[in-house]
Structure 1
């Protein structure tokens, strides 16, 4: 139980260098039996690297690891598994075409005569294990057909099948609905009460305080502080992570909701890359002077919807209008009509990483940096310098390659380029993904300033905390449709979460009638 003095993991003076880069510098972490220990920090602070060292995925440069008082050396994950350490990665490592039981026992299959796999025993063992830990699953179900929350159960049972006593969960709630997150936390608490020690890597501070017993904060490769979760606030943790005071929730005045409809989508239909219906007869509006948050579990059509709005995907049916004027599907047409687009994939879509900062900054600003028929490099560089200063882009001069910048500063480059355009509609897709908490504060302030200047802002995010913090109005997308249109000031995490999971407030499934924009009881 939490509070016991039985120490199961001691990592002392851990260091890790990759060439000249010092990723971990003198980190010390102590984990007790039966506790949930949260490990938090900005991106690049060293959290995943430290856990990968514990799990044997990478070797340490210096320091010592002790398990139950004994020094250990892990050369690979098999050594860590043998020592009763399990790790559930943020991106699941499951075979989608295999059954639940096959995924759980793979590599440690029960055998029968002539070395054949005993599939019946694998199914029985899986069923017994799932019931013992309250993680009910059908052993014969194909993993590809399971929702994300159940796939995560498979990953956890896979570790428990190998008798893990120390469980590392790396950003386990990143793709879960609030309801699925709540179920995961029940499981974590049950495991801790049975004596399992859980290391919980997360950037969602509200969730950390909800489930953790202890919190360790990493900053620049060191454990800066460890404290009981009950003794601190999210603000305390955030300040420790960044090393200064930060705003967790940007201040904004209420929206009047009476602005012009600057972005209108009507009866939109679009197919996904595999030919499936991704956007199903969807209609929505975003007005001047409001931030609309588009919430939903990844894979419910948000990507295809945004690609249609940005002109990167051709709809099968329906119309997209900017300030009342229908726009044909092309990126150029959307930009000319007044769209500023901040894509989630900044490396593949938003930026040319091998090009310089100034070259990236001039994209979409050619009329401002051309002299006659030619681009003026001096004008383009002066333009970039103004934006670098105005948006506080750090990490190199304007001639530095975009690839040399941190994730947060790469994000600032594309935000500076897009928000400095004469655009009436801003679509920000996953604006804080892979961005440090200090940079998130800056990005959120910029989006609110766009809204306050009379622009229509659509924020598409898998992070419900971000949706709740920024939005005036929240649209929830489920299976290609808008199933809820909610005032942010009058809703809750729980209500939004129910819609994200396809349930209405009464717990019944949302109706699936073509063209219906809100969920209704069956």
Structure 2
């Protein structure tokens, strides 16, 4: 055991049936450091942190805290030993106030009763002061932004006495400004002697906030490095075991209008308008990125364009033809393709084979179908070619899609949609939850479609992705367009303000 480490996991092994999720992993953190844990999906990060938080028990290995062996049977044991975890999906009660959510279910040490308002307020004020965390304690959680909700979760772990905080993908739903506020809090925690384990796939953020970085690959520890000794490109190479090629966008001539949206209003599931008076144009030969915190009308916009949600008002044209109320199938026949944001619920039939899923959208015509009858030999020929072209890892074309990794599932969706030779592609969160290697490949495919003269509407909550791929960027907030910028004009500050609802005119004034 290394005496430098305040917390050390040694030889951690965890199996789920035949799957070896953690293979003798060694992970050690020093008191007061920000230590990032990175790796592709399936690398073993979540399993390792669930073991550290007491949600799972290791099959082999040892945890030591302060040099002493530590056995964690539940999260209660972890909390009792000063280990807290802020999950990606918050666990808050919307109807309760901030203060009530923080103290809910927790009896402060030495107190026999759960609720002592004066003691609680004194404790919370000390946390807010020490870590410079501003929270409206009397406000109901339902009225707060996502960034404030995350602060509640952090203060909640501190209120329970956490000295080691695990932050799981903490910036996934934050604006750039909210991310900066989070980093400010993390630095304050580190300066006060708290240890932060930061789990993220955003390498730029990892490089900004970390002291040291541990890389996992295929359930094993690859290396632990000082931030000053590596670059984002080297970290990516360590994660996937090969060199990553950077994307180099080409300058292309924009063609005629591919998609025109005019004064569009779209109701959500509850009947309230989620898209309000939205107008924009997408041209052939360009990628128009739609940026914004999730839940600001992006999903409803995509559903209205592909035809599964009826607009309350407005007009949609594709290549000069109105499609506002055109059936979904006819839109696809006219050259529309859709990469859905949820591949499991919307993109695939998991129990069906790769072949079934790959030919799903072309099953009614040649070369797959003749006179209404599917030619399965031709279907297999098509699927084998797509599996090879899109580098999909599967045992055979007849393997069920449910057996594939997330990245390979997404490749199946992308292969099917782009192989139709569409003219307009609606790509919703195209690389969400996929490995760096698969993400790189999918982004490259979208760039190639654009370079070939097609149009791509890219809807993504990943601001880095939007800025990397887009020719123009439109920002949505509250169902409205708050601004539109060329890629050369865009930076995180401008986009972040628009994501908060500050319009271009207000940005210029401010």
Pick the TM interval, shorter chain.
Answer: over 0.9
Match of 1:241 in 2: 239
Report the CA distance between 1:483 and its aligned residue.
1.1
Match of 1:198 in 2: 196
Contact 1:504 1:521 in 2 (8 A): no
Alignment match of 1:299 (pick from 287, 295, 298)? 295
The reply to whether residue 162 of structure 1 matches residue 160 of structure 2 is yes
Distance 1:16 1:314 in 2: 48
The structure-2 alpha-carbon separation of the partners of 1:357 and 1:70, relative to structure 1 and needing over 3 Å to count, comes to: same
Match of 1:7 in 2: 5
Report the CA distance between 1:342 and its aligned residue.
0.3
Distance 1:89 1:329 in 2: 42
Report the CA distance between 1:250 and its aligned residue.
1.1
Match of 2:486 in 1: 487
The 5 Å alignment of 1:83-232 reads 83-109=81-107, 115=113, 117-119=115-117, 121-232=119-230
Match of 1:460 in 2: 459
Report the CA distance between 1:237 and its aligned residue.
0.2
Distance 1:115 1:64 in 2: 36
**Greater Cα shift, 18-27 or 325-334:** 325-334
Match of 1:514 in 2: none
Alignment match of 2:257 (pick from 258, 261, 269)? 261
Contact 1:255 1:472 in 2 (8 A): no
Contact 2:42 2:218 in 1 (8 A): yes
- How many equivalent residue pairs? 506
Contact 1:110 1:118 in 2 (8 A): no
Tell me the SS of whatever aligns to 1:267: strand
Match of 1:44 in 2: 42
Tell me the SS of whatever aligns to 1:117: coil
Tell me the SS of whatever aligns to 1:195: coil
Distance 2:314 2:469 in 1: 28
The reply to whether residue 362 of structure 1 matches residue 359 of structure 2 is yes
Tell me the SS of whatever aligns to 1:446: helix
Contact 2:106 2:114 in 1 (8 A): no
Report the CA distance between 1:144 and its aligned residue.
1.4
The structure-2 alpha-carbon separation of the partners of 1:58 and 1:112, relative to structure 1 and needing over 3 Å to count, comes to: closer
Match of 2:331 in 1: 334
Distance 1:492 1:520 in 2: 14
Structure 1 runs not aligned, ≥5 long: 509-518
Match of 2:279 in 1: 283
Alignment match of 1:345 (pick from 311, 336, 342)? 342
**Greater Cα shift, 109-118 or 361-370:** 109-118
Match of 2:395 in 1: 396
The structure-2 alpha-carbon separation of the partners of 1:76 and 1:337, relative to structure 1 and needing over 3 Å to count, comes to: same
Cα deviation 1:230-283 (Å, max 9, x = unaligned): 221100100000001012x411212333x1111111110011112222000101
Report the CA distance between 1:128 and its aligned residue.
3.5
Distance 2:92 2:401 in 1: 34
The structure-2 alpha-carbon separation of the partners of 1:121 and 1:332, relative to structure 1 and needing over 3 Å to count, comes to: farther
Report the CA distance between 1:424 and its aligned residue.
0.7
Q: What TM-score comes out, normalization by structure 2 length?
A: 0.96
Match of 2:410 in 1: 411
Contact 1:342 1:428 in 2 (8 A): yes
Match of 1:314 in 2: 310
Tell me the SS of whatever aligns to 2:266: strand
Distance 2:114 2:181 in 1: 36
Contact 2:39 2:45 in 1 (8 A): yes
Cα deviation 1:397-451 (Å, max 9, x = unaligned): 1100011111111011011110011311011111110110011111111001100
Report the CA distance between 1:503 and its aligned residue.
2.6
**Greater Cα shift, 226-235 or 378-387:** 378-387
Contact 1:427 1:458 in 2 (8 A): yes
Contact 2:264 2:314 in 1 (8 A): yes
**Greater Cα shift, 352-361 or 110-119:** 110-119
Distance 2:108 2:60 in 1: 39
Q: What TM-score comes out, normalization by structure 1 length?
A: 0.94
The structure-2 alpha-carbon separation of the partners of 1:371 and 1:401, relative to structure 1 and needing over 3 Å to count, comes to: same
Contact 1:473 1:487 in 2 (8 A): yes
Cα deviation 1:440-492 (Å, max 9, x = unaligned): 11111100110011100111110011111111111111110111110112221
The reply to whether residue 54 of structure 1 matches residue 52 of structure 2 is yes
Report the CA distance between 1:119 and its aligned residue.
4.2
**Greater Cα shift, 328-337 or 70-79:** 328-337
Contact 1:396 1:405 in 2 (8 A): no
**Greater Cα shift, 176-185 or 358-367:** 358-367
Report the CA distance between 1:123 and its aligned residue.
4.1
Distance 1:461 1:116 in 2: 43
Report the CA distance between 1:329 and its aligned residue.
4.7
Report the CA distance between 1:120 and its aligned residue.
5.2
RMSD: 1.9
Report the CA distance between 1:150 and its aligned residue.
0.3
